[in-house]
Amino acid sequence: MADMLAGSVLITGCNRGLGLEMIRQLVTSSTPPRVVIGTCRKPDEALQTTYCKETAPDETSLNLKRLAKVQQIGSQNQIYTEFLALESNVVDYKSLPGLVEEVGAAVGPQGLNLLINNAGIMDKCSSQMFGIPLEHLEPHTFSNVMETNTTAPLMLVKEMLPLLRKAATVGGAIGVRRAAVVNISSIMGSMVVSRIVRKACDVSCTVRKVCDVNCTVSKAALNMLTKILAMNFGDEGLMFVAIHPGWVQTDMGTSSGMITTQESISRIFKTLPTLMEKHNGLLVSYDGTVMPW
């Protein structure tokens, strides 16, 4: 990143995959945010073996549990970013006030510039790559995916709204450097595009028929939520955007993914600063392409 993505960034679901890579790229950037906050259910386990070995000056000094000063070298100057790792289960709504208090203390009077709702789940079975066959789908499974992928991001936005509003009052152009929420969604949540993608996928007919009812419906709801929030709070200077990260090689995307986590996040971080008021409420691909949904 040539320029700072945002002054302060909060990312959920940082134990692995896309969230973990977001943390890695932000704190190793030559122009890191002033504050980077990552949350996951078990921060002690998340970065001890992956993140620290790759980037920390002292491999024993940093994990997703402790506040740390990560020294980065950029140009001729030494740049420091404050990294805070917090334990948080996105569906434990009673814990959200405590999370808001910790985030507020970290970002200070400037408020929170960027919230990235990354945490998400997708149930799979051994007989197919994506989803559970409709014949085997249980109500609680569908409800769990909807809660994690749609309800939880909404509740987090609700609780973080005062900190986002505080950042928005500083003024300036609408965008991630002012006050924004980025919801990590999927092309499969697009009612227009998902049909085309399903036909193009080199997968069995059975998979195309079900194509993970849980995840696609939850992401379609997340896209609608993004649109509604943009309509309700855009006039306050807040931006809400849904991002399709690509078919990524992660636990959810499987090894069949077309791009790596590094490439996906690198391109997302290049795209985010280009988004402006006209993108508020839209679904945008990792490469900046506006997608119908």
Q: Which DSSP string do the residues of 65-84 spell out, in sequence order?
A: TS-EEEEEEETTEEEEEEEE
Helix segments in 108-247, DSSP class H: 139-146, 152-168, 193-200, 205-210, 213-233
- The amino acid at residue 266 is S
pLDDT at 204 over 90: no
Q: Name the residue range of residue 63's domain.
A: 8-291
Q: Is residue 128 part of a domain?
A: yes
Q: What is the mean pLDDT of residues 76-83?
A: 58
Q: Is residue 225 part of a domain?
A: yes
Q: Is residue 2 part of a domain?
A: no
Give the CATH number of the domain where residue 213 resides.
3.40.50.720
pLDDT at 49 over 80: no
pLDDT-derived band of residue 283, with 50, 70 and 90 as boundaries? very high
The share of the chain scoring above pLDDT 70, in percent, equals 73
Per mean pLDDT, which range of 16-25, 171-180, 202-211, 232-241 is the poorest? Answer: 202-211
Per mean pLDDT, which range of 82-86, 105-109, 208-212 is the poorest? Answer: 208-212
From the list 206, 184, 165, 166, the residue with the least C-alpha distance to 90 is 184
Largest CA distance in the chain: 61
pLDDT for the residue 2? 62
Residues 25-42 have pLDDT tens digits of 998 888 999 999 999 887
Q: What is the mean pLDDT of residues 225-250?
A: 91
Q: Is residue 3 part of a domain?
A: no
Q: Is residue 90 part of a domain?
A: yes
Which one is predicted more confidently, 201 or 98?
A: 98
pLDDT-derived band of residue 52, with 50, 70 and 90 as boundaries? very low
* Domain total in the chain: 1
Q: Is residue 1 part of a domain?
A: no
Q: The sheet that has 239-244: what strands, in order across it?
A: 68-74, 77-87, 35-40, 8-11, 114-117, 180-184, 239-244, 283-285, 290-291
